[in-house]
Amino acid sequence: MSIKVINSGLMTTIQDKGRMGYQASGMQVSGDMDSYSASIANALVGNEDDAPLLECTYLGPELEASEDVLVAVTGGEPKVLVDNKPVHAYESLILHKGQHLKVASMDEGTRAYIAIDGGIDVPLVLGSHSTNLKLGIGGAEGSKLYNGEVLNTGRPTDLAKAIISGKSHIRHTDHGYMAHHHLWQESNHGDSHEIRIVLGPQDDYFTPEAVKSLDGAVYTISNESDRMGYRLEGDIIQRATQRDMITDGIVFGSIQVPPNGQPIIMMADHQTTGGYPKIATVTSADLPLLAQCSPGSKITFKVISVEEAQDIYVQFRLAMKEQIALMDKDTEDAGWPDSRPGVRNYNLKIDGQLFQVSVEEVK
Amino acid sequence: MEAMRILTVGDCAVSVEFGQEISLEINHKVMALKMVLEREPIRGIVELIPTYCSLLIQYDPMDLRYGQLRERLEALVTQLDEVEMPPKQVVEIPVAYGGEYGPDLVEVARAHNISEEEVIKLHSEPEYPIYMLGFVAGFPYLGGMNKAIATPRKQSPRLKIEAGSVGIAGEQTGIYSVESPGGWQIIGRTPLKLYDVNRNEPVLLKAGQYIKFKPITKEEFRAMENEHKGN
């Protein structure tokens, strides 16, 4: 089974959960920028959580299926078309032989994820399928996708077989309610998104006033922002000492402050080490949200404690597991209230009690 | 020596810092803690990144919380002096100095008013400790260069420096592990590949080891290069 890349889009790469285990050798982790949306896309087609999939930026690709295949698109609010007709994101779609899937643009957010059942079949390089553009390894020969390229897909999942043969309902999820719909709305403070941060490791390199005013500070994501880092524009962060820092380790979310005082947030393709002091670190639960913020948009920092951040992140991970478990349950359930075509059935958990809900579009 | 500090690096990492200067004594503590954590892993720790003065510890808060990790680390660091370190490992790096492989050797020699041979001698004499790897895959941060050959970076950086190039930047010496732009004074090149994704161990060097440069002729360089290609 294979997928032909009719148009590669602006910047489409193959990613998974990243190349862990080689950072002591100076090798970047790479991997999904919005790990949450990637996981949901994979779950929608019955893939393993870390199956290789496509990450696209702004303008997604146009793909053609060589056989019937199950696909799903998530991340932000992508405009998805099958043979030029709009279809839903955040649900599994049968792409019949010869049909074209197109991720035309993003109504909101920056990055869309396209999962294909069985995952994209590319070689494992040092334990990961993620594309590392700098070293030219992983993904499809270490490069972003190009027009005309053919991508093989892995062994079809049981879910895909069941859905394609009509034995099972398509799978959908409550519109990416965490990273996107829910978090996006909840974090929206007028014209900016709230990004929670934890102070350190080098907050003592900055004046107490600078550290204090970081809480609530608004920054604009500049155009010089990519998978390596987001350069921010806003108030200059004042150093308390001109003492040089000795190079140390960096994580996804580290907020570096170079001598010009304008912070840079290190993203998925960041270097493993760096010599600029890091005033704070973005909380893990807010990284998917940050990955969806686009150049020109504003973010507001909110300082929380490391303990709070861990509570939030653990809840986030458990909620994601539950969201995926509910999808599994949707698929297993035989006696749906309404199985007419066009009707969607959800398992919905409200105050700990499970409800079955059928929704039909008003024509 | 300064006191050890555990610094918070967001909700999935901490940095254990043993001081704020480049010294072997401090770096040994970093390596000792890394070794202890590799020998007796703490459930929840997912990756260790050693640097000059600190060890970055990445962990998963689903398995290990900040307070718990802090407690474990505070107990561990008191025992680091008793950790038996592995014997010193010196990796020999053959280098063809000067000419097409080291276009800046002339400039470095001229800057110090010594002969090219003298630069080669001073550069290939010491055993250089590898404090850490970073910047790109396989790039070693070395200490211990003779200050007599310290030379400022080039006025305008080169757009392309071949992998394996050996250079000087200020009081530092180093080896480019992958092809990249850069402003170091290039005095030679090694036919060894510091980074090769197709090798079992993609990165040749490890933090904690030592490097000794061995001058070779251009003919030896070509022979070794062909040998690697054959493999």
| Inter-chain touch B56–A251, beta carbons under 8 Å | yes
Q: Parallel, antiparallel, or unpaired for β A150-152 and A188-189? A: unpaired
Half-sphere exposure of A267 (CA within 13 A, CB side): 22
The answer as to whether A88 is a domain residue is yes
At A222, which CATH number?
A: 2.40.100.10
A110 and A137 assigned to the same domain: yes
Average pLDDT over residues A45-70: 96
The answer as to whether A178 is a domain residue is no
A225-268 pLDDT per residue, tens: 999 999 999 999 999 998 888 999 999 999 999 999 999 999 99
Could you list the beta-strand ranges (E) of A117-203. Answer: 150-152, 188-189, 192-199
d(CA A77, CA A271): 30
A159 and A41 assigned to the same domain: yes
Average pLDDT over residues A133-138: 94
Give the residue ranges of chain B where pLDDT is below 70. 1-2, 230-231
The total number of structural domains that make up chain A? 3
**pLDDT of A184:** 61
| Residue B158 in tokens | 């080169």
Q: Which of A192, A213, A210, A211 is nearest to A290 (CA)?
A: A192
Q: Running DSSP on this structure, what letter comes out for residue A246?
A: P
A298 and A348 assigned to the same domain: no
Q: Which of B171, B124, B117 is nearest to B148 (CA)?
A: B171
> Which class for A236: exposed (0-12), middle (13-18), buried (19 or more C-beta within 10 A)?
exposed
The answer as to whether A326 is a domain residue is no
Distances (CA, A) of A3 to A87, A94, A116: 19, 13, 9
Vertex B64: Cα angle to B63 and B65 (nearest 5): 130
A166 and A220 assigned to the same domain: no
Q: Which of A1, A35, A43 is nearest to A16 (CA)?
A: A35
Distances (CA, A) of A183 to A135, A171, A312: 34, 22, 12
A125 and A216 assigned to the same domain: no
A241 and A351 assigned to the same domain: no
A154 and A220 assigned to the same domain: no
- Under DSSP, is residue A1 helix (H, G, I), strand (E, B) or coil? coil
All residues of chain A having their beta carbon less than 8 Å from the beta carbon of residue B65 are 307, 310
**pLDDT of B230:** 58
| Inter-chain touch B52–A246, beta carbons under 8 Å | yes
**pLDDT of A176:** 55
A203 and A244 assigned to the same domain: yes
Band of pLDDT at residue A334, cut at 50, 70 and 90: very low
A33-49 pLDDT per residue, tens: 999 999 999 999 999 99
Domain boundary among A148, A172, A196: A172
A197-235 pLDDT per residue, tens: 999 999 999 999 999 999 999 999 999 999 999 999 999
Domain assignment of residue A347, given as a range: 333-360
Q: Which of A56, A150, A136 is nearest to A104 (CA)?
A: A56
Vertex A46: Cα angle to A41 and A47 (nearest 5): 70
The answer as to whether A125 is a domain residue is yes
Best mutation target among B2, B6, B12, B59 (most A Cβ atoms within 10 Å) is B12
Band of pLDDT at residue A341, cut at 50, 70 and 90: low
d(CA A299, CA B49): 30
d(CA A29, CA A270): 8
A13 and A158 assigned to the same domain: yes
Nearest C-alpha of chain A: how many angstroms from B133? 5
Domain boundary among A172, A201, A227: A172
With beta carbons less than 8 A apart as the criterion, state whether B221 and B189 touch.
Answer: yes
Q: Running DSSP on this structure, what letter comes out for residue B4?
A: P
pLDDT at A319 over 80: yes
| Inter-chain touch A25–B51, beta carbons under 8 Å | no
Nearest C-alpha of chain A: how many angstroms from B116? 32
Mean of per-residue pLDDT scores for chain A: 90
| Residue B35 in tokens | 């070794």
The answer as to whether A325 is a domain residue is no
| Non-local CB neighbours of A290 within 8 Å, separated by 6+ positions | A195, A230, A253, A265, A267, A282, A299
A308 and A338 assigned to the same domain: no
**Domains annotated on chain B, with CATH:** 5-82 (3.30.1360.40), 90-229 (2.40.100.10)
The answer as to whether A317 is a domain residue is no
A270 and A340 assigned to the same domain: no
Domain boundary among A172, A198, A228: A172
State what percent of residues in chain A have pLDDT above 90: 76
- Reading phi first (left if > 0) and then psi (alpha if -120 to 50, else beta), residue A221 is in beta
A17 and A151 assigned to the same domain: yes
The answer as to whether A271 is a domain residue is yes
Best mutation target among A22, A25, A308, A312 (most B Cβ atoms within 10 Å) is A25
d(CA A338, CA A204): 60
The answer as to whether A152 is a domain residue is yes
**pLDDT of A102:** 98
d(CA A251, CA A267): 8
ipTM: 0.92
